[in-house]
Amino acid sequence: MRLHSLRARIALVFVLLMLAVQAAAFVVINSVITSNAHRNANEQLAVAERVFKQVLRSNGEKLTQAASVVAADFGFRQAIASHDEKTVASALRNHGDRIHADIVMLADLDGKLIADSSGPAHEGMPFPFPKLLRAVERNGDASAIGMIDGRPYQLVAVPIKAPLPIAWVAMGFVIDDDMAREMSSLTSLDVSFIDQRADGHWTALASSLPAAERRALQDPSNLSEENYATRLVLLKSEGEPVAVMLQRSLAEALAPFRRLQTTLLLITLAGVLVSIVGSMFTARSVTRPIAALTQFSRRIGQGNYAEPIDVKHHDEMGELANAFNQMQHGIAERERRITELAYMDRLTGLPNRALFNDRLQQAIGVALRAEHPLSVMMMDLDRFKYVNDTLGHPIGDLLLCEVAKRLRSALQRDTDTVARLGGDEFAVLLPTDDIDAAKLIANRMLKALEEPITIEGQLVDVGASIGIVTCPLNGADMNVLLRRADIAMYVAKRANAGYALYDERHDQNSAERLSLMSELRQAVEHDQLTLYYQPKVDLSTHKVKYVEALVRWDHPTRGFISPDQFIPFAEQTGYIKSISRWVADKAIQQCSLWHAQGIELAVSVNVSARELIQSSLPDTFSALLRKYRVAPEWIWIEITESAIMDDPNHAIETLDRLHALGIRLSIDDFGTGYSSLSYLKRMPVDELKIDKSFVMGMFDHKDDETIVRSTIDLGHNMGLKVVAEGVESEAMLLRLKDLRCDLAQGFHLSRPLPPAKLEAWLQEWQESAETA
């Protein structure tokens, strides 16, 4: 067998491994044996400690009982009371001898010794253990270890009562070598009593150890842990600390395990020899299928999951081969699932934004090389938020799935892609279609969504707004095309047109638009905008009591900028909020000035959809009414029908708060939105304004006249005033009067005028009305 072959290396590794295992096993088991010996020694120490404490407790109880007998002796108490010292000394000696007490003492209440069995020389001296007496006062009896003349004693003390305490009696056993040897015989351990001196050294008071070994007790930390297991037990003592040290010889504890250690060594050597032989056979059997596994691993690394590994073994190597095959299948399945999660929308099953962008990027490259157009559409559902808020998100999810299904059916080619980008936003890629083909498909998609949709018994009505761009006409960059399709989509949504083509005039991010944004902001901040007012004529009395405030912008360099140019732009950018507040401030101020001059005019102010859903709108108007001292009934607020339908619940809540202030409310452009009578009857409005497109088309289209007549009848039946916009001729005016319309406004009556010219026009109108 070659030394550098795999088989040799496996054999060598196995031998070394077995050597390491056998050596580790020997070390571990030997360590366990030693540990067991230590544990047994420690367990013996623990048992010995309990025995020792029990012996001390038994001695203490014995002393306490004897002392209590003395304290209860009537003759003894009488002798104390009569100061019969001989009787007292005799009684103490007799009771002490009965239990072989080594010392007996009697102390008076002042802590002075009355009698002491060690001799009369101590009589009259302070009792040496005052803490013991204080403990007796608290507990009735007490015990402690104390030093008397350099010798330790186990002491107890009890009070002598007649019936109140009149003295204290104390008894004790001396702690000496005899006691230590007695303790050693009971515990099978070496027992030493030691105390700590002021210099920190310990002194052996009594011990079962030979005299030569007692010197090591001066510093217990010097005792060899390899030779002894020790336990130091502190005793309750007065004065210098006293402890008992229990010791167990580890040599004696290890003696029963020595034969086991020898047997273990022989087994270890035999195991090493067997492992050498076994490793040779193992290395030979392992290396045979390695080539097949290596080849299989190379195929897996190359992404080839088709062919499984073929290893005809029924042992662990066969199981390893099966595991490799399972791994191959698992990797292939996970890659498929990861791809699906990364590129598919989990709710609808459509491609997601990542996959759509990837396909769009590739399609742009193909279209540019082949010089053919491609189209991209961005689509957003109308009223989807209302469905979510009203019916809940589960119904909204089911609606999205149904929309996805219908959009897929509207695309008839496999090369076309419809994707869900998120929320209710979808995108369509037509890789070979021009703008005309894209419009046909957009109409097909809108028609598919017009069909009734029923979700769990609920009839759901949604529409869509689609923005269309083409490449290279509207750009050759993916991000540019998507952004411009998004812009076109919002144009379609605002115009309720279904779909719209991209027009750079709608691009709020162009350089010109950015410049216009800055200038518009400056115009508002520096009061450069102007309000014009268009009168509304009462068709029954020919009087003018109402005017509509319309904002105008006369740019210093660009000239007059039509509201149709900057108002939609302001709505896109969100700056319409600032413009609306500026208009409200100026209009209410002008209303206040006219009433101060005796000109009784009510002023209408237009409010955007963004303002309508803001909860702060009523507070803004309330503050302006107070500021200019204008009665709320002089102010009318006009809201477009489509603005209300963007978020009906919030809109109606805001309208209720405005109506509560006393402000009159009017629905502008009525008939062009999607409102229903159920919402109209909930809104606290006072007026309907017929959209000018119907008024101007009355003489050309019967349907327009029908809409005008129906709107007038509807408004009157609901107790509302009706205003017709866009009156361009006398014939229109007379026809509206015949239809019983309340008010009219339009160029035939007057164009929007600045305040001074409006006042002059009012004067002329009043004079002509009086002469008519």
191-214 pLDDT, tens digit each: 888 887 777 677 788 888 877 677
User: Which phi and psi angles does 52 have, rounded to 5°?
Assistant: -60, -45
Tell me, yes or no, if the pTM score tops 0.95: no
**pLDDT on residue 221:** 59
Which of 45-49, 87-91, 237-241, 662-666 has maximum average pLDDT?
Answer: 662-666
The enclosing H or E element of 602 equals strand 602-607
Say if residue 644's pLDDT is above 80: no
CA–CA separation, 740 vs 579, rounded Å?
A: 35
3-state helix, strand, coil in the chain (%, to 5): 55, 20, 25
Given a contact cutoff of 8 angstroms between Cβ atoms, the answer to whether 746 and 728 are in contact is yes
What does the pLDDT average to over 527-531?
86
Rounded to 5°, angle at Cα 284 from 281 and 286? 110
Which has the higher per-residue pLDDT, 637 or 11?
Answer: 637
Q: How confident is residue 74, by pLDDT bands cut at 50, 70 and 90?
A: confident
Q: How confident is residue 465, by pLDDT bands cut at 50, 70 and 90?
A: very high
Q: How confident is residue 238, by pLDDT bands cut at 50, 70 and 90?
A: confident
Those residues whose C-beta lies under 8 Å from the C-beta of residue 112, and which sit 6 or more positions away, are 124, 125, 126, 127
Given a contact cutoff of 8 angstroms between Cβ atoms, the answer to whether 352 and 419 are in contact is yes
Given a contact cutoff of 8 angstroms between Cβ atoms, the answer to whether 684 and 659 are in contact is yes
Which has the higher per-residue pLDDT, 654 or 680?
Answer: 654
Q: What percent of the chain has pLDDT over 90?
A: 28
Side chain identity, residue 261: Q
Residue in the block written with tokens 């005799």: 90
Say if residue 167's pLDDT is above 60: yes
What does the pLDDT average to over 492-499?
85
What does the pLDDT average to over 492-518?
75
Q: How confident is residue 344, by pLDDT bands cut at 50, 70 and 90?
A: confident
CA–CA separation, 76 vs 349, rounded Å?
A: 107
Say if residue 510's pLDDT is above 60: no
CA–CA separation, 411 vs 619, rounded Å?
A: 50
Q: Among 273-277, 359-363, 449-453, 508-512, which stretch is predicted with the lowest mean pLDDT?
A: 508-512
Reported as a single tens digit per residue, the pLDDT across 573-592 is 677 888 888 999 999 999 99
Which of 253-267, 276-290, 493-507 has maximum average pLDDT?
Answer: 493-507
CA–CA separation, 106 vs 87, rounded Å?
A: 13
Alpha carbon separation from 663 to 39, 494, 632, 634, 690 (Å, rounded): 93, 27, 5, 7, 20
Say if residue 528's pLDDT is above 70: yes
- With both helix axes pointing from N to C terminus, report the angle between 576-596 and 511-525 in degrees, rounded to the nearest 10: 30
- DSSP characters for 210-274? -HHHHGGGGSGGGS-TTTEEEEEEEE-BSSS-EEEEEEEEHHHHHGGGHHHHHHHHHHHHHHHHH
What does the pLDDT average to over 125-150?
82
Given a contact cutoff of 8 angstroms between Cβ atoms, the answer to whether 712 and 722 are in contact is yes
Say if residue 754's pLDDT is above 90: yes
Given a contact cutoff of 8 angstroms between Cβ atoms, the answer to whether 389 and 450 are in contact is no
Q: Which of 709, 667, 692, 697 is nearest to 746 (CA)?
A: 692
Residue in the block written with tokens 């299904």: 405
Say if residue 228's pLDDT is above 80: no
Q: Which of 243, 232, 177, 186 is nearest to 210 (CA)?
A: 177
**pLDDT on residue 522:** 82
Q: How confident is residue 674, by pLDDT bands cut at 50, 70 and 90?
A: very low
Q: Which of 513, 505, 504, 492 is nearest to 443 (CA)?
A: 492
**pLDDT on residue 342:** 72
Domains and CATH numbers, the chain: 50-257 (3.30.450.20), 344-507 (3.30.70.270), 512-771 (3.20.20.450)
Q: What's the mean per-residue pLDDT of the chain?
A: 82
Given a contact cutoff of 8 angstroms between Cβ atoms, the answer to whether 466 and 498 are in contact is yes
Given a contact cutoff of 8 angstroms between Cβ atoms, the answer to whether 752 and 551 are in contact is no
The enclosing H or E element of 722 equals strand 721-724
Which has the higher per-residue pLDDT, 605 or 231?
Answer: 605
Which has the higher per-residue pLDDT, 359 or 527?
Answer: 359
- The 10 Å Cβ neighbour count of residue 524 is 18
**pLDDT on residue 5:** 66
What does the pLDDT average to over 424-443?
92
Three-state SS at 394: helix
Given a contact cutoff of 8 angstroms between Cβ atoms, the answer to whether 512 and 566 are in contact is no
Alpha carbon separation from 592 to 584, 599, 638, 766 (Å, rounded): 12, 10, 19, 21
Q: Which of 676, 724, 668 is nearest to 698 (CA)?
A: 724
**pLDDT on residue 193:** 84
What does the pLDDT average to over 325-331?
74
Say if residue 360's pLDDT is above 90: yes
Say if residue 30's pLDDT is above 90: no
**pLDDT on residue 174:** 87
- The 10 Å Cβ neighbour count of residue 87 is 15
**pLDDT on residue 145:** 85
Residue 303 gets the label, from left (phi > 0), alpha (psi -120 to 50) or beta, of left
What does the pLDDT average to over 235-263?
74
Q: How confident is residue 242, by pLDDT bands cut at 50, 70 and 90?
A: confident
What does the pLDDT average to over 48-77?
80
Q: Among 312-316, 545-549, 707-711, which stretch is predicted with the lowest mean pLDDT?
A: 312-316
What does the pLDDT average to over 484-502?
88
Q: Which of 244, 248, 247, 246 is nearest to 194 (CA)?
A: 244
The enclosing H or E element of 152 equals strand 151-161
Reported as a single tens digit per residue, the pLDDT across 266-287 is 777 777 777 777 777 776 666 6
Say if residue 509's pLDDT is above 60: no
**pLDDT on residue 312:** 65
CA–CA separation, 169 vs 104, rounded Å?
A: 7
